[in-house]
Amino acid sequence: MISRSQRVIFWCLVWFCIVILSVPTIIVVGASLTGGNIITFPPDGFSLKWYRQIALARDLQQAFSRSIIVSLICLAVSLPVGTLAGIALTRFRLRFANAIQIYLLLPFTIPLIGSGIGMMLVFGSWHILGNIWPVGVALAVINLPFIIWSVSSSAAALDSDLELAAASCGAGRFETFLHVTLPGVMPGVITGGLLMFVLAMTEFLVSLLLTDARTVTLPVQIYNNIRSIITPDLAAVSSVFVLIALLAVWLLDRLVGLEIFLKSK
């Protein structure tokens, strides 16, 4: 039995968390709707003029489309790599499986500033800095553990005899992968993919080190703007970010169901 005082404490904690987690979002969205010229909360009147403004701002628009491109490149790299690695680590009896797993999860243990500077040096010596695609590749590398986790938790949930069953049905190794293993881990692939996309859209630190004036992505652009003058249009941009994230979560729920996502390691 749960006593009255326990219930009171429980709900206090729940509401505390809900408020703490949502206050920044509420403030940003609120501030973006202000009618005045300085960023305040509560907003000074109601207007969508800052949204009109960012829709017309060329630098923000370009940065936004660069961010989309970076995220797509990140997806193009991490989807095949993360999916294959996630499947291999759970479904096959690999030699050195543990060592490989640690190696693939290594990006997690290195501070972003460290890996960012490292990649800046390497990309610089290869003379590829100043392009957009290396940013996408870099974001794929630092966030790879997320998709590997997501895929391998999906793969671990599959029946261990599934591949043998496919073989006894007459499917060769490639057919087994295509028709049985891959569809089986698809929830994990979709979850991991959306996660990678959102993470790449919002990544700041490594992007800051790898971009310059020609290749600046949206989070870096926002940072640049803050450094000069803080206007409500930044709140509007941030609100667009929140919207994109919500969209991703909604998509996730429609495609695989949120409970699968929440259950993944």
Partner 1 sequence: MTNGSPSERAISPGKSGQSTAVRVRDVTMDFGNGALAVSNASFELETGKFLTILGPSGSGKTTLLRMIAGFETPTSGEITVNGKPVDSAPPHRRSIGMVFQKLALFPHMTAAENIAFPLKMRRFNPKTIPRRVDEFLDLVKLGGYGNRRINELSGGQQQRVAIARALVFKPELLLLDEPLAALDVKLREEMQLEFRRIQHELGVTTINVTHDQREALVVSDDIIVMDGGRIQQHAKPVDLYRAPDNAFVAGFLGVASFINGHAVPGGLTSGENFLSGTHAGNFADGTAVRGAVRAEQIRIAAESGQLAACDTRLTGTVRDTIFEGERQLYVVATDELPGITFRVYHHDPESFGLFEIGTRVMIGWNARDMKIFEFRAS
Residue identified by tokens 């700041």 is 204
Q: How far is the CB of 57 from partner 1 (least distance, A)?
A: 45
**The two structure tokens encoding residue 253:** 């729920």
Dist CA 143 CA 131 (whole Å): 20
3-state SS, residue 130: coil
246 CB-contact burial (10 Å; exposed 0-12 / middle 13-18 / buried 19+): exposed
Of 230, 228, 220, the closest CA to residue 60 belongs to 220
Which region, judged by CB under 8 A, interacts with partner 1, from 53-61, 174-182, 199-207, 252-260? 174-182
Q: How far is the CB of 263 from partner 1 (least distance, A)?
A: 16
> Does residue 170 interact with partner 1 by CB under 8 A?
yes
> Does residue 184 interact with partner 1 by CB under 8 A?
yes
When the beta carbons of 159 and 259 are compared against partner 1, the nearer one is 159
When the beta carbons of 15 and 92 are compared against partner 1, the nearer one is 92
Count of positions on this chain that bind partner 1 (CB under 8 A)? 21
When the beta carbons of 143 and 264 are compared against partner 1, the nearer one is 264
> Does residue 180 interact with partner 1 by CB under 8 A?
yes
* Residue 246 to residues 4, 110, 125, 264, Cα–Cα distance (Å): 35, 29, 39, 19
When the beta carbons of 181 and 211 are compared against partner 1, the nearer one is 181
Of 182, 166, 174, the closest CA to residue 79 belongs to 182
One character per residue 137-166, x = contact with partner 1 (rule: CB under 8 A): ---------------------xxxxx-xxx
In the complex, the residues that contact partner 1 under the rule CB under 8 A are 158-162, 164-172, 175-176, 179-180, 183-184, 186
